[in-house]
Structure 1
């Protein structure tokens, strides 16, 4: 279970602090339930890439049952959702799915996730609030 190796945010205050405390890196937060299959897969990916992206991204996990504070605000209804923040600003990414607010599907491999995080980070550094994903996902979403 990879989720035990990644930092969990246990209160709304901790989520806010994680987002506010990073001035240079992208903040990546996986919202969901640790026991959900898609969350376990995403956590495995996030854990697997954490070391590779640590210079430009900080990765956190947040259980939406333990911390329901953001469920309505961010529309956290999917089993697993990954959101991105940079300098206290919510970063959006066009995945070609119609939902630019969050990543709410599983990517095929760890390198895809690294590419997404790096693309969002580079766009954020340039002052963009919306970036285009390096891959189009409209026809390739794998749902469980």
Structure 2
């Protein structure tokens, strides 16, 4: 249901436009598939948080299967879904959450408040001119994934 209520982007031009035109707010792009359980869980959290973060953030869903979106999938090295990428005034915002990859949030958030805390920290850091912030969540609430490297 939330994927109907939050804007879903399927074209590169739509993603380029929302990144360029979202000013003085954090832009939160969720890359994923509406059919996957983990994405549905994250979408529900995003939808329920939408009103709470509306003064400082904009949320959009990006269809990871759309042909034109593959350029972003490759650019952000999105191999696991859902993945959430943050921007502020067209600058890619990064977050140190204890993993080797600071460019995106991989997986879902445990609670609505976890998501709001992350969005708020990114906004506060961006307002101070930072491009990377520290994750405000305790380590037990940060999803962990085993990274496997093929062909090494």
Per the normalisation by structure 1, the TM-score is: 0.93
1:91 corresponds to: 93
Instruction: Confirm or deny: 8 A CA contact 1:96 1:138 kept in the other structure.
Output: no
Among 118, 133, 148, which residue is 1:131 paired with?
A: 133
1:111 corresponds to: 113
List alignment gaps of at least 5 residues for structure 1.
none
- Residue 12 of structure 1: CA displacement? 0.5
Q: 1:99, 1:70 → 2: CA distance?
A: 16
1:44 corresponds to: 44
2:23 corresponds to: 23
Bigger Rg over Cα? 2
Gap change, CA 1:109 and 1:142, over 3 Å in 2? farther
RMSD over aligned CA atoms reads 1.5
Residues matched between the structures, number: 143
Gap change, CA 1:140 and 1:103, over 3 Å in 2? closer
- Residue 98 of structure 1: CA displacement? 2.3
Q: 1:6, 1:98 → 2: CA distance?
A: 30
List alignment gaps of at least 5 residues for structure 2.
146-152
